């Protein structure tokens, strides 16, 4: 569902980038994902249908993320050693979900400052949650090592992206826009892929527990 909304939003985006308003349509190398949520695109054309699709797509991702978090929390909370870490991770993950809802509700062209602050907070909280889930899985006796490794990979990827966000080239620098745009897309793909993998692992673990009872 989220992918369908994203593709529709891309197809409906009128055009323009932060540096060049004459660009036609959506540029994978020069448009952030958040550009799709603008009610008026960089070329000055209205983008309300595309913006609506972006909001629906992002909310779908948040709902999916929330479901994943519930599954991880249940798995890691079953072990006394990992329970405190799982609770902390789930709480921070809830903040991540709320932050991304805020990102969806604050179009760049209307409230750019708040939109950027929410985006930065979301990814930093996401990093903190990944660290906590890494520790929770490591302390959980029923979680296989590959799960902890996957959380560690996500943590490293998020740390690199947060570093790029904070200290990487500015979007106004030569090539800076492309670096930030590509980095955002890469971390989105990596994060979604690892969360899907972790969800499958949690589901398998739950199935094994049921078969043993």
Tens of each residue's pLDDT in the chain, 213 residues:
788 999 999 999 999 999 999 999 999 999 999 999 999 999 999 999 999 999 999 999 999 999 999 999 999 998 899 999 999 999 999 999 999 999 999 999 999 999 999 999 999 999 999 999 999 999 998 899 999 999 999 999 999 999 999 999 999 898 999 999 999 999 999 999 999 999 998 877 665 554 444
What is the DSSP secondary structure assignment for residue 137, as one 8-state letter? H
| Phi and psi torsions of 20, nearest 5° | -140, 105
The two tokens of residue 123 are 């990814």
The residue among 14, 44, 53 whose CA lies nearest residue 31 is 14
Residue 78 confidence (pLDDT): 87
Sign of CA dihedral 109, 115, 116, 119: negative
Residue 139's contacts (CB-CB under 8 Å, 6 or more residues apart) are 79, 81, 82, 85
The two tokens of residue 75 are 């798995």
Judge whether 17 and 23 are in contact, CB under 8 Å: yes
Cα separation, 97 vs 15, in Å, equals: 29
| Phi and psi torsions of 40, nearest 5° | -130, 120
The two tokens of residue 127 are 């990093």
Using the structure block, give the residue that is written with the tokens 């043993």.
212
C-alpha of 78 from chain center = 27
The two tokens of residue 175 are 């090539």
Residue 210 confidence (pLDDT): 43
Residue 96 confidence (pLDDT): 97
Residue 101 confidence (pLDDT): 95
| Residue-wise burial string across 60-69, b where 16 or more C-beta atoms lie within 10 A, e elsewhere | bbbebbbebb
Please compute, for residue 211, the number of CA atoms within 13 A of its CA located in the half-sphere on the CB side.
6
The two tokens of residue 164 are 């790029």
Residue 147 confidence (pLDDT): 95
């Amino acid at each position: 569902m989220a992918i369908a909304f994203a593709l529709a939003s891309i197809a409906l985006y009128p055009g323009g980038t932060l540096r060049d308003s004459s660009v036609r349509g959506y540029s994978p190398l020069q448009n952030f994902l958040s550009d799709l949520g603008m009610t008026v695109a960089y070329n000055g054309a209205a983008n309300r249908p595309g913006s609506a699709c972006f909001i629906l797509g992002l909310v779908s991702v948040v709902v999916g993320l929330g479901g994943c978090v519930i599954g991880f929390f249940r798995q890691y909370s079953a072990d006394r050693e990992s329970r405190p870490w799982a609770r902390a991770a789930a709480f921070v993950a809830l903040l991540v979900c709320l932050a991304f809802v805020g990102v969806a509700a604050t179009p760049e062209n209307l409230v750019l400052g708040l939109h950027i602050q929410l985006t930065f907070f979301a990814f930093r909280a996401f990093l903190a949650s990944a660290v906590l889930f890494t520790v929770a899985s490591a302390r959980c006796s029923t979680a296989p090592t590959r799960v902890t490794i996957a959380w560690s990979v996500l943590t490293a990827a998020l740390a690199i992206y947060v570093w790029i966000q904070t200290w990487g080239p500015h979007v106004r620098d030569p090539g800076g826009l492309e670096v930030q745009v590509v980095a955002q897309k890469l971390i989105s793909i990596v994060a979604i892929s690892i969360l899907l993998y972790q969800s499958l692992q949690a589901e398998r673990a739950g199935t094994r527990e049921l078969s043993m009872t």
